[in-house]
A and B are shown apart, each in its own frame.
Chain A
Amino acid sequence: MAAAAGAAAADEAEKARGRRAALSFAAIAVVLGLPLWWRTTETYRAALPYADIAALGELSFQLAAPVAVVFAPGSLPGDLPRPLPFRETQEEETLLNPRTSIMSRYEMVYRSTTAQEEAALDAVTVQEADATLHPLQDASLGSLTVYVIPETSSLLPQCLTGSRCLAGYEITFSLLNPDPKSHAVHWDIEGAVSHYVQPFLDKLSFMANFSVDSQILYYAVLGVTPRFDKESSSFLLSAHSLPHVINPVEARLGSSAASLYPVLNFLLYVPERSHSPLYIQDKDGALVGTNAFHSPRWGGIMVYNVEGPAPPQASLPLRVDVDMVRVMEVFLAQLRLLFGVSREVLPPEFLLESPGNEGLADWELDRLLWARTVENVATVSTTLTSLAQLLDKIGNIVIKDDVASEVYRAVAAVQSAMAELATGRLHSAFQASKEAVTSSERAFFDPSLLHLLYFPDDQKFAIYIPLFLPMAVPILLSLAKIFREAKQRKKEPTKTD
C-alpha cells in the first residue's frame, strides 16, 4: 500500500518533471529560437533618416536677394517715403507646384550714387557706362532711374527647360563634308574654341566638367533630300523634315565612344556642290537667318553655304575657309539655349547689355546658378523620397552601411544648400546642392541595391516547414497534453484519495 502510494508519488513527481521539461523546451524555442531565426534571416537594412527625407518632400525655398536702387543726381523723385538712404524689404511668394514654393525676399536699399558711379554714368554711351563690373540698366525717360543689380539677381528663373544639370558634358564639334571632291574645307576649330568657346565654358567651369573635341567627317550626308526652289534657285530644307536629319548622321558621329558624360554635338554641314546653296525654312516658309537648328539635350546643326558661285574655270576642289566667327556666334547661341539660358524679352524702355565674348553675362550666370540649385535640390528630394518609398514597397532590398552614409551626406548637403540659399550665398549653395545630387545618385544607383530575387510566400513556407515542423510537433503535442491534463485535474480535484 505504501509501496503503491510511493510508486504513485514517484510517478506523480516524474510527471511533474516531464511537464516542466516540456514547458521549458517550449519556452526556449519561443524566447530564444524564434528571435534568433528572425534576426539571421532578415534583409540587412542600415538605419536611414526617414524623418528628414519626409521633411524634404515639402520644399519651401527662401531666397534672399539684396537689391540696391541707386539714384543718380537729378533723378531723385520727390515722393520717396523716406529720405535716402533707406532700406525696405519686399517679400514675394511664388508657387512652383502645390508642394514647392519660393519665398523671395528683396532687401531694397535706396541710395544715391557714389562718385565713381557718377563718373561711370557720365559716359556718353551705354557701352562706355559699363565700366564697372555690374551691368547697368538705363531707363531713358529723361530721368535717370538707375536700377543696379548687384551679384545676385532678383529675377526668378524661367521654366527649367534646359538640359538637366549633370556632372559633366562632352562637347563635340564636327565638320561634315559630303563632297570632298568639290570642296576642300578648312576650319580653324582650335583657335575658335580657345577664343570663343573656352571663355564661356570657363565661366561655367565650377558647374560642370567640360571637355571639347572636334572631328571632320567626309562623305557624311544629311539623310534628307532638299527641295529645289526655282524662284530663289536654291535648295530648301523644310521645317518638318528637320527631325529626320539627326538620326542617320548620329551613328557616324562616334559619340558613344567618347565618354560616360552626355555628349553635345555641334555639326557644321557644308552642302554638296550640286545642292548649294542650301537654306532652312521655318514653319511659315521663311528662310531662317542663322541657317541652323538645334535639338534639346542633343546639340545643334548649322548649314554653311560656300560663298558665291565658283568661277567656271576654277579647279576643283575649291578651297573653303570657314568663317569661324559667324559659325561660333550660332554655336554659342545654341549652347546657351541648350543650357537653358535664354533671352529675356524686355519692355522697350530697357536696353540689355550684350554678353560680349564671354558669351554669358554675370546676371545670366547667377540666374542659371539659381535655377540649377533649385533643380538640384528638387532632384535630390525626389530621389531620396523615391528611395524611401521603394524600401517601403519592396521588402527585399538590402541597404549597406556605405549606402546609408551616402544618404546621410545627401540629406545634410541639401539642408545646408537650403540654408545658404536663405542667406543669399549662391555659390556655396550651388556647391552644396551639387554634392547632394552626387551623393543621392550614388546611393540610389548603388549596384548592391538590386533587390533579392523575389521569394513568394509559398516558397518561404516550403523552405522552412521541413526544418521547423519536426521540432515543433513534439513540443506542441506535449504542451497540448499538459493542458489537457491540467483541465482534467481541475475537473476532478479529488481523484487521489
Chain B
Amino acid sequence: MAARRARAAAALLLGCCGAALASGVQDQAEQFFKSGHTNNWAVLVCTSRFWFNYRHVANTLSVYRSVKRLGIPDSHIVLMLADDMACNPRNPKPATVFSHKNMELNVYGDDVEVDYRSYEVTVENFLRVLTGRIPPGTPRSKRLLSDDRSNILIYMTGHGGNGFLKFQDSEEITNVELADAFEQMWQKRRYNELLFIIDTCQGASMYERFYSPNIMALASSQVGEDSLSHQPDLGIGVHLMDRYTFYVLEFLEEIHPASQTNMNDLFQVCPKSLCVSTPGHRTDLFQRDPQNVLITDFFGSVRKVEITAETISLDPNLAAFESKPPKDELAAEPLKYAEQLPVAQIIHQKPKQKDWHPPGGFILGLWALIIMVFFKTYGIKHMKHIF
C-alpha cells in the first residue's frame, strides 16, 4: 500500500510535469507560426572605401538608423564601415552623411556607434564576427553574442560580382565562404533565423550557395545585372544612395515597432520599373511561410516578457547571513588589471613547430638538375630521344 502510494506520489509528480508539458504543447502549436526568437541582432557591413563610394556608407547608415528606430539597441548591432565619409577631406559638409538629395536627412549624428571602422573591415574580421572565433580581449561591442534564439539581420553593400563581394578594394569574399560561415553559425546554434540582404551588383549570386536552414535572403539584382545608384547630389558631388536600399528604406519608414507587415511586402519593394535591376529573394531554406514572417521579427526587437506571478516569502527578522571566512581572505586580495599580454604563455611556449618548406628556388633547382642530367646522358644532339 505504501509502495503503491509512494509510486502514486511519484507518478503524480511526474504527471504534473506531464500536464505542464501538455499545456505547453498547446502553447507550442500557437507559437508554431510565430518566430521563436527572444532577441535580435544586426550585422551591417559596408565594404567599399574611397570617396566615390559614399553611397555605400550612406546605405549602411540608413539601415542602421531604421533598425535602431525599430528597437534594436546598439549593444546588439555590429556596424562595420570601411571608410570614413563624414570626416573625409573631400566632404563639403563635414561630420554629416546625407542619404537624400538636397541634404534632407543626415544619417550620421552623435549616437552612431561604429564597431569596425576603416581598415578593420576585412574578410577575416567579418568571418570572425559571424563564426564567433574572435581573439580573446576583443571588446564586447565587437562581438556577435547571439544564441540559438536570436534572429539576425545581415546587411551587406559594396561592389560585387558573380559569386564574390569586394572588400576594401583589395580582397574578396566568395559565396562559398559566406555559405560555410553560415553553416558554422548553424552548427553552433548561433542563430534562430537569419535574414540576409545584399545590395551589390549581381547580388543574387551571393546567396546561391547557402545550404543551412532558416535563412532568408534578398538581393538587389540578379546575376548578370548591375545594381544602380539612385541620385547624385550636386552639392556633395557623389551619388548618395543605391536604388534598392532607397526604396527599402522608404518601405521601412512605414513600419513601427508594433506593425504586422510581413515579408511578402518586402519582396515587392523596388520593382524593375523603379530599380532597373530585378531584385531577387530566396526562401526555400526558411521553415516558415514568408506570409507569417513579420518585418519586425528581423528589423525590430520586441522582447518576450512574462508577468511575474509568484513571489517567495522572506523573513526580515533573520540575522544577516554570516559570510564565510574564506570570503574575507579573497576580499583582501589586491585588485589588479586583467592580463593584457599573456606573458607566461609566451615565455613558456614550446618552440613553434615550423612547417617544413623546401628551400627557395626549389623548383628552379629541380629544373636545372633535370635538364643537366638529360644533357649529360644524351648530349644536346640527342634531344631527339625526347622529342
Contact = CB atoms under 8 A, between A and B. Distances in A.
Interface of A: 15, 17-18, 21, 25, 40, 44, 69, 71, 75-81, 88, 90, 106, 108, 110, 139, 145, 147, 154-156, 158-159, 164, 191, 194-196, 198-199, 202, 239, 242-247, 250-251, 255-257, 260, 262, 280, 282, 288-290, 292-298, 300, 302, 325, 328-330, 332-334, 336-337, 343-347, 350, 354-357, 359, 382-383, 386-387, 389-390, 393-394, 444-451, 453-454, 456, 467, 470-471, 474, 477-478, 481
Contacts of B124: 450, 453
> Top 8 nearest A-B pairs by Cβ distance?
A77-B1, A386-B187, A256-B75, A329-B311, A292-B308, A454-B177, A199-B321, A325-B316
A195 B176 CA distance: 56
A194 B321 contact: yes
A329 B189 contact: no
Contacts of A394: 180, 183-184
B133 A447 contact: yes
Contacts of B238: none
Contacts of A71: 2
B377 interface: yes
A471 B367 contact: yes
A152 B66 CA distance: 52
B357 interface: yes
B73 interface: yes
B305 A246 contact: yes
Nearest to B316: A325
A274 B14 CA distance: 50
B35 interface: no
* Chain B interface residue bracket vs A: 35 or more
A260 B302 CA distance: 24
Given A251-B74, A290-B309, A478-B385, A454 B321 contact: no
A383 B189 CA distance: 9
A202 B320 CA distance: 13
B306 interface: yes
B372 interface: no
Given A242-B305, A293-B305, A295-B304, A80 B183 contact: no
A351 B108 CA distance: 61
Contacts of A79: 1
A386 B363 contact: no
* Residue of B71, B305, B318 most packed against chain A (CB within 10 A): B305
Nearest to B308: A292
A345 B20 contact: yes
Nearest to A334: B308
Given A81-B3, A155-B13, A336 B312 contact: yes
Contact of B306 (A147, A293, A481): A293
B105 interface: no
Contacts of B2: 69, 71, 75-77, 80, 110, 145
15 contacts: A81-B3, A195-B320, A196-B314, A243-B305, A244-B71, A290-B310, A302-B308, A329-B313, A354-B313, A382-B189, A383-B188, A447-B135, A450-B133, A454-B177, A478-B385
A449 B133 contact: yes
A146 to B, nearest CB: 10
B188 to A, nearest CB: 6
B234 interface: no
* Residue of A77, A147, A155, A447 most packed against chain B (CB within 10 A): A447
A387 B132 CA distance: 14
B369 to A, nearest CB: 10
